[in-house]
Chains A and B, each alone.
Chain A
Amino acid sequence: MAQSVSVLKDSEQPKASKHSPNQQTNTRRLLTKAIRLVLFYALLILIWQGLAASHIWKDYLFAGPIDVWGHVLSGFQDGTFGVAILTSLRRLAIGYGISLVLGVLLGLLVGSNRYIEETLGSLILGLQALPSVCWIPLSLLWFGLHEQAMIFVVVMGALFSITLGVDAGIKNTPPVYIKAARNMGSQGFALSTQVILPAALPSILTGLKQGWTFAWRSLMAAELLYITVSLGGLLENGRDLNDIAQMFAIMLIIVLLGVAIDTLVFGPLERIVRVRWGFAR
């Protein structure tokens, strides 16, 4: 065996590691970035307050930051905002979960078989072109004003993006990976889960992210039509009550939730891909 192999000394060095170049400058860079951000938003709120105080618009058309903040606090105190957030997130989670499972399966199917790709693939490409809010009328007709209608809209919003992401990932996988894996005895389920899916990960992630944006948008649109305690529902409710501060407060919360999901869910996934594949920031 190769036990006694002794070969020339190696002087090759790896390419410069990403983390080494001067930790200190890095920290300083992050700090100055944080300061810039804080300054920008402080200025924005100041301008906002100034506009509100100047009463250019009527008070029932434009709310100032203090009113909105008051509304955010009272909304959380009486529990409505908490319930609304949970309701909307639950719909998103169930719907997105369903389209995740279906989308990965469909993507694998379309990506691995030429005939399915020609037929089903073309249909999915067509449906992807349909803005997902367009599913709302049909969904209300089929399911009535029920939870299922909301979840259906979310599923339709995310499903095709995820499917196409998986499909594209499989197509863009260098064939040499599959050859090497098969040569090393990988086949069937192990080949799919250990080679094809991880190789497709960067592209799958793009599909997942696009799917989530579409799902979130169509859910908000659907909730506007359906009066319950949900984020979209409260937004519409604010209009009915002529409560401009509530509308601003809900919109703020929708933005913050979106940013939170982006950074907490997709941030770490994107970091994994960046570190392993070595994609530039």
Chain B
Amino acid sequence: MAQQLRAAQRTIQSNGDALSPLAGGTSIRVSGVSKTFYSNGRVVEALRPVDLEVEAGELVCFLGPSGCGKSTLLSIIAGLEDATSGDVFANDKQVTGPGTDRILLFQEAALFPWLDVQQNVEFGLRQAGIPAKQRATIAQKFIETVHLQGFEHSYIHQLSGGMRQRTAIARALAIDPAVLLMDEPFGALDAFTRDRLHTELETIWSATRKTILFVTHNVREAIALGDRVVVFAPRPGRIVREFRIDLPRPRSLEDHQLVDTAAEILQVLRSETEASEQVEEAYGTVR
């Protein structure tokens, strides 16, 4: 058993070596990426040309109200959506479509209801043609990582929202991508579950040193998680400012430094957004 596990880990690592970035190198480089589309005969500027560099192993949060292009940018980086202009490089290779080196996680978890938890976690491995026995070993390991032992054969509708997100994280980790792209993954969860998942994500991140891009509209979530917070503003979608967050980890949402930073970022967002009422609506005051 231990031997099998080690063998499985070797394959993961050898997979990972091909994909994982060099320490300290650039993991994601976004250059002049924009997105416009036509809607009812009008040109909508979903994203103005943006440039961005993300180091390997960095955890960067994209923050902004809805319609600011943050999710669009994430989809483009994932290769699931085409940019109108510009290029994306992952690990110095140009992105031309989806790839298993960049896995996107969705708010609705996007687990397959016809498969149980373990089969969901094995899905990517199955696509890669990894034999069943090895798949099971790898899946087991990541199910343990997200603390879902005992739920291997549960169906998705039997899981709570938090457990669904954990399963989705395990499913992504099993593929061993260099980059995790998380599109408001905890947006639909209650505050307690979200806090717990923040801590778990931070632990997983520090153990695996994966590059993580995390999209959220929650200011304090962004500051609690990110090495850097990239602030987006809507109409047209654009990046307005970047904040480096040097607070020690693990961070508490109640930490006064964190709350101060949140106030500062909110101030920037307010002044940058013409439609200030909408920001009020989306954020309220600092809670």
The interface of chain A, by Cβ under 8 A from chain B, is: 1-10, 12-15, 17-18, 174, 176-177, 179-186, 190, 194-195, 198-199, 201, 275-278
Contacts of B124 in A (CB 8 A): 184-185
Known: A15-B160, A183-B103. A7 touches B147 (CB 8 A): yes
Q: State in angstroms the CA–CA spacing of A3 and B16 once bound together.
A: 14
Which of A5, A12, A17, A174 touches B204 (beta carbons < 8 Å)? Answer: A5
Residue B106 interfacial (CB < 8 Å): yes
Residue B222 interfacial (CB < 8 Å): no
Known: A181-B123, A184-B123, A276-B114. A10 touches B80 (CB 8 A): no
- Contact, CB under 8 Å: A179 / B127: no
- Contact, CB under 8 Å: A2 / B114: no
- Could you tell me the distance in whole angstroms from the C-beta of B243 to the nearest C-beta in chain A? 27
- Contact, CB under 8 Å: A176 / B108: yes
Residue B65 interfacial (CB < 8 Å): no
- Could you tell me the distance in whole angstroms from the C-beta of B238 to the nearest C-beta in chain A? 25
- Contact, CB under 8 Å: B127 / A7: no
Which of A7, A14, A176 touches B110 (beta carbons < 8 Å)? Answer: A176
- Contact, CB under 8 Å: A14 / B9: no
- Contact, CB under 8 Å: B158 / A177: no
Q: How many Cβ-Cβ contacts under 8 Å join chain A to chain B?
A: 117
- Size category of the B interface is 35 or more
Chain B facing A: main interface SS: helix
- Contact, CB under 8 Å: B103 / A184: yes
Residue B4 interfacial (CB < 8 Å): no
- Contact, CB under 8 Å: B114 / A8: no
- Contact, CB under 8 Å: B142 / A2: yes
Q: State in angstroms the CA–CA spacing of A8 and B112 once bound together.
A: 26
Known: A176-B110, A179-B80, A198-B112. A14 touches B104 (CB 8 A): no
- Could you tell me the distance in whole angstroms from the C-beta of A22 to the nearest C-beta in chain B? 18
Contacts of A198 in B (CB 8 A): 112, 114
Residue B1 interfacial (CB < 8 Å): no
B residues 121-167 in Cβ contact with A at 8 Å: 123-124, 126-128, 141-142, 145-147, 151, 154-160, 162-163
Closest to B158 in A: A14
Closest to A180 in B: B110
- Contact, CB under 8 Å: A199 / B112: yes
Q: State in angstroms the CA–CA spacing of A198 and B123 once bound together.
A: 13
- Contact, CB under 8 Å: A2 / B173: yes
- Contact, CB under 8 Å: B13 / A14: no
- Contact, CB under 8 Å: A12 / B114: no
Residue from A7, A14, A18, A180 with most neighbouring chain B CB atoms (10 Å): A180
Q: State in angstroms the CA–CA spacing of A6 and B156 once bound together.
A: 24
Which of B108, B123, B196 touches A8 (beta carbons < 8 Å)? Answer: B196
- Could you tell me the distance in whole angstroms from the C-beta of B135 to the nearest C-beta in chain A? 13
Contacts of A18 in B (CB 8 A): 158
Known: A12-B162, A183-B80, A198-B112. A5 touches B145 (CB 8 A): yes
Residue B55 interfacial (CB < 8 Å): no
Q: State in angstroms the CA–CA spacing of A17 and B153 once bound together.
A: 12
- Could you tell me the distance in whole angstroms from the C-beta of B186 to the nearest C-beta in chain A? 13
Known: A5-B145, A176-B108, A176-B110. A275 touches B204 (CB 8 A): no
Q: State in angstroms the CA–CA spacing of A12 and B193 once bound together.
A: 9
Closest to B196 in A: A8
Q: State in angstroms the CA–CA spacing of A272 and B276 once bound together.
A: 51
- Contact, CB under 8 Å: A184 / B175: yes
Contacts of B158 in A (CB 8 A): 14-15, 17-18, 278
B residues 95-115 in Cβ contact with A at 8 Å: 98-100, 102-104, 106, 108, 110, 112-114
- Contact, CB under 8 Å: B9 / A3: yes
Q: State in angstroms the CA–CA spacing of A186 and B127 once bound together.
A: 6
Known: A10-B147, A14-B160, A183-B98. A5 touches B203 (CB 8 A): yes
Contacts of B9 in A (CB 8 A): 1, 3
Which of B141, B163, B204 touches A14 (beta carbons < 8 Å)? Answer: B163
6 contacts between A and B (CB under 8 A): A8-B200, A179-B80, A179-B104, A179-B106, A185-B175, A277-B155
- Contact, CB under 8 Å: A179 / B154: no
